[in-house]
Amino acid sequence: MNRKLLVTLALVMIIALASLTQMTASPPDPTGGEVSLSLENDGEAIALQAEDLLTLRLLSNPSTGYVWHLASIDEAVLIQIDSDIEAMKQNENAIGAPAYQVLHFAGVSKGDTTLEFELRRPWEREVHDTYTVNVQVDGAYRGAYRTKTAPQPVLGETAAPGLPTSYSYCQQIGGCTVVKNQGSCGSCWAFAATGVYEQLIKGEDGNTRDLSEQYLVSCNYDGWGCSGGWCPFGYFINKVPYGEPNAKAVYEADFPYKAADVACNPPHTHHDEIALEWREIGNSPSVAAIKQAIYDHGPLWVGVCADSSMSNYSGGIFDYTTCSQLNHAVVLYGWDDNQGRNGVWFMRNSWGTSWGENGGNMRIGYGVNGIGAKASWLRYEGSGPEPPAPPSNLVATAIQPDRINLNWQDNSTGEDGFQIQRQIDGGSWANLATVGTGVTSYSNTGLSPATYCYRVRSYKDGLNSDWSNEACATIYSGDVIFSDDFETDKGWSSAGGSATRGQFERGIAQPTSYDGVAYQLAAASGSYDLVTGAAAGSSVGDYDIDDGDTRFRSPNITLPPSASVGDVTLSFKYYLAHYNNSSSDDYLRVKVVGDTTQTVLEVRGTSNTIRGAAWQNANVDLSAFAGQTVYLLVEAADDGAASLVEAAIDDVLITGTEAPEPPAAPSNLAAAVVSESQINLTWTDNASDEDGFELQRKTGTGAFTT
């Protein structure tokens, strides 16, 4: 057998096969019996007596569309006479669980034939597994087995007074969302649930949403997953998994589909849509009851029996088969009494748009394959007005000695204004100001030395957006020694380097991104910054650092003498961005060069990790350089194998407080003996603002004491 079995089936098959050791080829019963084979008999040769029926029990998951298809047989020797779906544990399986395909074969004439099977979806080319068995047939079947006949569908009451003979919810809302593909995971129960909810959201709000099935598969606490589940509507209403904030909708973008039982890893972003109620209308409701539920509540989550006939469906009206094992969940969204024998349901599957008709849909007769079992509706009445989009890219820039400028990006349309909050030295958030619509900047003045953090949100019609990112800046005590926001040329210059492209330059950086990740940003403030290749070009890698390092240095800066640690400080903004082919040889480094050289910042790349560009703050104590003339040296490198590396520096600031000057020393000290017990001292005061004078005395050759 070609062991390319579906990942989601592999473990289940191993467990199942361990319990099937008794299902090997058995000797024929002289009175007429059965030779039963399983996947363990792959590649074997067996003898089939005329009195015996050949039965294959092959594990698959029909709810995914992946079923065993007979690819080769000599029907002059052996013929398939029947098939069925059998649960692994009778009446215990969830919707979407793996099951056995039970295939019956009977001899036609004496001879040999090889049965060849393929595990695949009929509408897709890829074969996931194969199975073969050679059968030596003794002669035409003489046993008493009779093939099954398709059961008459159980319809119950079909007439629904007051309802039209034909109805489609999709037509009512201007078309349903695109049918999705569950792949090889038995997650149809989750896809049917999101399929219902997405249509209700579109019908009520007019919004096309792509909800996350993986959230339901990975985060439910009922034990459901790729081996099956039941109707999960409660997770749209009030069932909140551990670590999640609420039961509101999770979008596909927030937890993309993996077709596997991956970890939940909460929390996820939950959006405004939340359902109110759900009900199962019955284990086997009548046609009339299902119609009424669709008409009153919209599309329904329903169960059905999926088998190879359903997998092979490509259009038209799907009529009777012998399939009776409830194993698959789909969406019903309408009906037509005038089609088929008794009427048809309009059904959405979760096997992709290439299956069925009209992009993943089916017309299935009332009651066929148990369609409509456990039908359930969901009540959703809309999310109300949408709040405005939150602002982004908030940047705080300190303008010493007492001002911080804020800039942000407005992502909403027609907002009433923006609310700004501030936090001082890690304290509580407090309202600072509001500004009008379209305003994207604010200047916070009159500040004292401290670290200030800010956040901004938009508001409209009484609704608030989420907060923007937080941005912080520090006001330092002391005087500004050096300041450069790169809006004017302060005398920075190249310090060499071997890079052939993407050298540091003072320029207007062109923002660029790749696969949704930013690699070069606009300046942290104003228009200019120090950046590795300001141009972006037609590709994200056109002007990044290549083939070595690039270095840039500041002009000379004279630092004042320092009285204590922290009196001279350096602050700046920076980022290093790289793709996941970066290595630890790629870096951004900032050095202070004076009497000695000190690396004050070093950020290195990490293999197999993507680092997006994001402005960061750096604060450095330069007291060790007090009184020296120094310069800043900025270095960045693509020293590993060719990789995507970008870096930038902005808003460089050095502040300092000089040590106070001592008062002038007194002079002309004179000592005059007045008596045996008194000496008078006189001196000239040369200081104008002294606090006082200290006098010391010594006797003979001893030490001075105060």
Instruction: Tell me the residue type at 519.
Output: Y
Whole-number Å distance between alpha carbons of 248 and 236: 6
Whole-number Å distance between alpha carbons of 508 and 341: 71
Q: 207 CB contacts (<8 Å, ≥6 apart)?
A: 201
128 is catalytic: no
Whole-number Å distance between alpha carbons of 550 and 636: 6
Whole-number Å distance between alpha carbons of 674 and 682: 13
686 is catalytic: no
CA-based nearest residue to 335, from 375, 284, 369, 287: 287
Beta carbons within 10 angstroms of residue 282's beta carbon: 16
Instruction: Tell me the residue type at 25.
Output: A
CA-based nearest residue to 110, from 51, 49, 199: 49
578 is catalytic: no
Whole-number Å distance between alpha carbons of 3 and 60: 14
- Cβ proximity of 300 and 332 under 8 Å: yes
Instruction: Tell me the residue type at 314.
Output: S
Whole-number Å distance between alpha carbons of 660 and 471: 35
Neighbouring C-alpha atoms within 13 Å toward the C-beta of 275:
27
CA-based nearest residue to 40, from 28, 53, 23, 27: 23
Whole-number Å distance between alpha carbons of 406 and 223: 48
Instruction: Tell me the residue type at 686.
Output: N
Whole-number Å distance between alpha carbons of 645 and 166: 60
Could you check whether the bond before residue 256 is cis, i.e. omega within 30 degrees of 0? no
Report CA torsion sign: 407, 411, 412, 413.
positive
Helical ranges in 334-396 per DSSP H: none
SS3 percent helix, strand, coil of the chain, rounded to 5, is: 10, 40, 50
Catalytic residue (one of 61, 349, 407, 444):
349
CB-based burial label for 559 (10 Å; 0-12, 13-18, 19+): buried
- Cβ proximity of 630 and 648 under 8 Å: no
Catalytic residue (one of 328, 361, 369, 453):
328
Whole-number Å distance between alpha carbons of 12 and 34: 26
DSSP string, 82-145: EEEEEESSTTTPPBT--EEEEEEEEE-SSEEEEEEEEEE-TTS--EEEEEEEEEEE-SS--S--
Which helix (H) or strand (E) is 169 found in, with range? helix 169-172
Catalytic residue (one of 176, 185, 188, 323):
188
Q: What are phi and psi of 278, to 5 degrees?
A: -145, 155
The tokens for 243 are 């670590």
Whole-number Å distance between alpha carbons of 612 and 602: 17
Whole-number Å distance between alpha carbons of 65 and 592: 65
Helices and strands counted in the chain (H then E): 6, 40
CA-based nearest residue to 619, from 474, 480, 485: 474
Helical ranges in 505-635 per DSSP H: none
Place of tokens 């000496």: 679
The tokens for 607 are 């293999």
**Catalytic machinery residues:** 188, 328, 349
